[in-house]
Structure 1
Amino acid sequence: MGNVYVEEDVGLMDITTLGLGIGACSGVMEMRAKESLTLSGCAPVKEILQHLGLAFSFDVHEGEAVGAGERILQCIGNAKALHQAWKVSQNLLEHLSGVASYTKALVQEAKRGNADVEVVTTRKHFPGTKKMMLTAVLSGGASPHRLGLYDSVLVFAQHRVFLGDKEALARHFWELKQKFLEKKVAVEVENFQEALYFARIGADILQCEKMGEKELKRCVELKEKFPHVLISATGGINVNNAQATAACGVDLLVTSSPYFAKPKDVKVTMQPKEKR
């Protein structure tokens, strides 16, 4: 079975390497960080290198800090395999290390505002990248907010429109809690009045969507009357406002911003093995 990343890039053949007649030459490829970063992407890169039959060694591992100029990886093999591994491996390390590095910075900013706050990421990653993105997020010190529709209960306004008036809503809400007794039930709320209502009917988590600091603090104060309730802030959370939002006293910051982080630069060099 092939490797999807290699097959997408190589297609039928690498016509440059083939045309130059260098495919059988033995060579060494190294990847080094051009800037400081938190490393991610090791697992899919290892799969690529193993698929292509390259000998390789990582100098650093998933989630570790890498300084500018430090070597990440060395590969040895024929030029054909090295060139097939080059760009896809570099892309994965750069993009995923960007996510991990941004996540780490975001967590640090949040902890400056509230040492007890947890940063969690949404499922707003590009489809098909869940495993890699969540690995990068974990490497940066955050956690997944939801793995998917199957692992947690989160009631949105888009659900509530089908449930009728408040009496019907409360009945359906109770039935939901009863059906999934082991699950905490989260509800997205847009203002203090919605937060108060759902706290009263038994919500476990109030997910406060795009609230200003004043209203968010009012929602946090609900914990005095409803001590079982957790308060999460979501909508536009990023490295620039994480500290101030966390300082409002929320339990969780829910964010998608790491998925759109700028990639980190990784430098690739290659040379014939016999010249080393």
Structure 2
Amino acid sequence: MTFALPGFDLDRFVRDTLAEDLGEGIEGGGRDVTSDSVIPAEARFSGVMDSRDAIVVAGLPLAEAFFRALDPDCAIERLAADGDAVEAGSELLRLSGKARALLTAERSALNTVQHLSGIATMTRAYVEAMRQGSATCILLDTRKTLPGLRALEKYAVRMGGAQNHRMGLWDAGMIKDNHVAVAGSVSEAVRRAAQARVSPIICEVDRPDQIEPAIAAGAHHILLDNMDPGTLREAVALIAGRAATEASGGIDLSTIADIAASGVDYVSVGRLTQSAPAADIGLDFQPE
């Protein structure tokens, strides 16, 4: 199965990750000294990747790419699909092939699946909590991602059931407090973006009195920053459908339902990619 994301080079990601682990380009590097010294060249390995926790799966195609990069002839059977919610003890992937190659790729494969599944799992928890307050509100991520991993982390968010906010600085304008400070006012910052034909224009406000100037100047989407549910309800009523509404700032599992119930269209949560713990996933040897 082909795994493709816009702007993401899978082959390069796998190559660079393995090169880092093997120490390529460093004196004395370029090999797995443990596997090379302990495992006979002709040895075979069969194993199962499984989850020790209940998780939402993400990253299995990447794990497969790591193993196939070092043993193109290895046999791999996926036992789950990205986006699946699985119970603790579930088997995710079964593989067999050259022992040295598979053990060299093991850590890179596991790190990737653990990280992405952790994001997907946390995202699913937020989606489910949010639905207690609103059946229509949409959960969004943010740009709080690790450098070089944005495409993958935002993919994991989608596997968890949320949607992506803008992918970067290029696909939407987002006017925040520092932009406003330099431009002089909310209305002037939005006016300049509109004059430059930026679309969509997202404008962050932290006070209700900033909403009308932002909309009048041409904002398409109002980000309501660090507002309590009562203030959010007032803001939604004031906007009255003239722009999309988004609540953001300090939202966690205990507050997201009340935030969503305020009537906003979106809730964005940075911790989905910034703070998700890695899922507990391992690869265990199974004799053939």
Once structures 1 and 2 are overlaid, which stretch shifts more, 13-22 or 119-128?
13-22
Aligned equivalent of 1:261: 276
- Alignment of 1:107 onto 2:122: no
1:86 matched to 2:106: yes
**Which stretch of the first structure deviates more once superposed, 169-178 or 260-269?**
169-178
Equivalent residues in 2 for 1:78-157 (5 A)? 78-157=98-177
Q: Does 1:190 align with 2:210?
A: no
In 2, Cα distance between equivalents of 1:101 and 1:144 = 16
Alignment of 1:20-35 (within 5 A): 20-35=38-53
Who is 2:232 aligned against?
216
- Equivalent position SS for 1:125: coil
Do the aligned partners of 1:49 and 1:55 also contact (CA within 8 Å) in 2?
Answer: no
Q: Which moved more, 1:110-119 or 1:189-198?
A: 189-198
Aligned-partner residue type, residue 201 of structure 1:
A
Q: Could you tell me how far 1:213 is from its partner in structure 2? A: 2.1
1:76, CA displacement in angstroms?
A: 1.0
Tell me if the contact between 1:29 and 1:82 (Cα under 8 Å) persists in the aligned partners: no
Residue in structure 2 matched with residue 270 of structure 1 by the alignment? 285
- The residue type equivalent to 2:191 in the other structure is W
1:201/1:31 CA distance change after superposition, 3 Å: same
Residue of structure 2 aligned with 1:158, choices 178, 189, 195 = 178
Give the C-alpha shift of residue 215 in structure 1.
1.8
Q: Is the 8 A contact 2:211 2:239 kept in 1?
A: no
Report sequence identity in percent.
26
Is residue 173 from structure 1 mapped to residue 187 from structure 2 by the alignment?
no
Verify: 1:200 aligned to 2:216, yes or no.
Answer: yes
- Note the C-alpha offset of 1:102: 0.7
Could you list the per-position Cα deviations for residues 23-49 of structure 1 after superposition, in whole angstroms to 9, with x for gaps in the alignment?
420110211111111100123212212
Alignment of structure 1 residues 239-250 onto 2, 5 Å: 239-250=253-264
Choose 139-148 or 199-208, whichever is displaced more. 199-208
Query: How far off its partner does 1:96 sit?
Result: 0.8
Equivalent AA in structure 1 for residue 190 of structure 2: F
Q: Which amino acid aligns with 1:44?
A: L
Work out whether 1:50 is the aligned partner of 2:68: yes
Cα RMSD of the aligned pairs, angstroms, is 1.9
| TM-score of the two chains, using structure 1 as the length reference | 0.90
CA distance in 2, matches of 1:261, 1:175: 37
Given residue 106 of structure 2, which amino acid in structure 1 is its aligned partner? W
1:4-41 CA distance string (max 9 Å, x none): 22222223222222222434201102111111111001
Matches within 5 A, 1:224-235: 224=240, 227-235=241-249
Partners of 2:188 and 2:86 in 1: CA distance: 53
Q: How far 1:68 moved relative to its partner?
A: 1.6
Distance 1:270 1:185 in 2: 52
Change (3 A) 1:170 1:34: closer
Post-superposition shift, 1:173? 3.0
Instruction: Name 2:18's counterpart in structure 1.
Output: 6
Cα deviation, residue 136, structure 1: 0.2
Q: What residue in structure 2 maps to residue 75 of structure 1?
A: 95
- Secondary structure, aligned partner of 1:151: coil
CA gap of 1:171–1:240, structure 2 versus 1, over 3 A, is closer
More off after superposition, 131-140 vs 46-55: 46-55
Query: Given the two structures, how large is their TM-score scaled by the length of structure 2?
Result: 0.86
Q: Which runs of 5+ in 2 are unaligned?
A: 1-11, 24-29
CA drift of 1:123 comes to: 0.8
Kindly indicate whether the alpha-carbon contact (under 8 Å) linking 2:50 and 2:93 is maintained by their aligned counterparts in 1. yes
Alignment partners' CA distance in 2, 1:100 and 1:243: 19
